[in-house]
Amino acid sequence: MFGGPPPPPSAEELQAQEQAAKATIFTMVSACVVLYFSPFAVNAVKKLV
């Protein structure tokens, strides 16, 4: 607003941001898989006990 837009990110900054985004997506997909299978694991443990 005051002073104009910031300079565009460098190629290294873009690559770092892409790696961070990929890591975040991988973490969230992993968490979703764990949460999806957790009820099945709890039921299996209950059957063993």
Predicted local confidence at residue 49, as pLDDT: 87
CA distance 15 to 49: 50
Q: What is the pLDDT of residue 28?
A: 98
pLDDT given at position 20: 98
Closest by Cα among 3, 19, 2 to 11: 19
Regions of the chain short of the pLDDT cut 70:
1
Alpha carbons 10 and 28: distance in angstroms, whole number:
27
- Nearest CA among 35, 16, 17, 15 for reference residue 27: 35
Grouping H, G, I as helix, E, B as strand and the rest as coil, residue 3 is coil
Q: What is the pLDDT of residue 1?
A: 66
Structure tokens at 10: 């460098």
